[in-house]
Amino acid sequence: MKFKDVLISVGIGIIFMLGALLIQLIIDQIPEIIILVDHHYNISYLIKNIKTIEIKNAIIYSIYLGMAAGFIQEGFTYFAISIKPEKMAFFIGIGFSAVDIAVIFIEDFNNLSGFLLILIILNIISSLLFHPGTATFMKFGKLSGHGIMTYITSSILHTSIDGSLVYTDIYILTHIKQYIISTELFWAFTMVISISIFLIGILKLNSLIRD
């Protein structure tokens, strides 16, 4: 395994993740565009009522944004891992994680203290587990003839994490006293999924390579 190949694989992951986020950003705006069209492009109405609309449609909104993140990002991962040999799938996943972590720091750079700092650390750990996990899991799937199945599974897992995050954020808006317990439950759920897919992906792909 050459260091150059590792860097190229990480770079591929970074490029594909940036592409995924660009598409995801567009898809995420569709509900707001629909609201604007429905109210004759009244931006002030959207700004004034968006939170209320999200709260009233919390489950649908969470599923929609979760699926957008899950199926788009894992779709880009699925194509990215096709470019390099099986041993590079892990590092392509690391590239996805690198962009994910960069976004976290950009969004929360001015709030790196206290409880939020703990959440950021958990987010970093989860990302470093989840993206390489799904990358290796889907590479295993492609090599064993179960590519679509592993893609759908990875996308559903990703959807469950991002959808749960959106729902938790909306839930906290009206249940502020439940902030700590809601956050703890979300991260317990997220870490279980992240650790599980990481171990499954690594072990499955390694067993296939050895055979």
What is the per-residue pLDDT across 135-190, written as a single tens digit (0 to 9) for each?
999 999 999 999 999 999 999 999 999 999 999 999 999 999 999 999 999 999 99
Q: What is residue 112's predicted lDDT score, i.e. its pLDDT?
A: 66
User: Is the pLDDT at 200 greater than 90, yes or no?
Assistant: yes
User: Is the pLDDT at 105 greater than 90, yes or no?
Assistant: no
Q: What is residue 40's predicted lDDT score, i.e. its pLDDT?
A: 80
What's the rounded Cα separation, in Å, for the pair 101 and 80? 19
Per-residue pLDDT, averaged over 125-136, amounts to 98
Q: What is residue 114's predicted lDDT score, i.e. its pLDDT?
A: 75
What pLDDT, in 10s, does the model give residues 88-102?
A: 999 999 999 999 999
Q: What is residue 201's predicted lDDT score, i.e. its pLDDT?
A: 98
- Dihedrals φ, ψ of 83, to 5°? -80, -35
Q: What is residue 146's predicted lDDT score, i.e. its pLDDT?
A: 96
**Backbone conformation region of residue 114, classed left if phi is above 0, alpha if psi is from -120 to 50, else beta:** left
Q: What is residue 106's predicted lDDT score, i.e. its pLDDT?
A: 86
- Domain count within the chain: 1
Q: What is residue 8's predicted lDDT score, i.e. its pLDDT?
A: 97
**Domain range holding 16?**
3-210
The three-class DSSP label of residue 165 is helix
Q: What is residue 209's predicted lDDT score, i.e. its pLDDT?
A: 84
What's the rounded Cα separation, in Å, for the pair 106 and 50? 24
User: Is the pLDDT at 115 greater than 90, yes or no?
Assistant: no
Of 148, 135, 106, the closest CA to residue 12 belongs to: 135
What pLDDT, in 10s, does the model give residues 6-54?
A: 999 999 999 999 999 999 999 999 999 999 998 888 889 888 888 999 9
The distance of Cα 78 from the centroid of its chain, to the nearest Å, equals 14
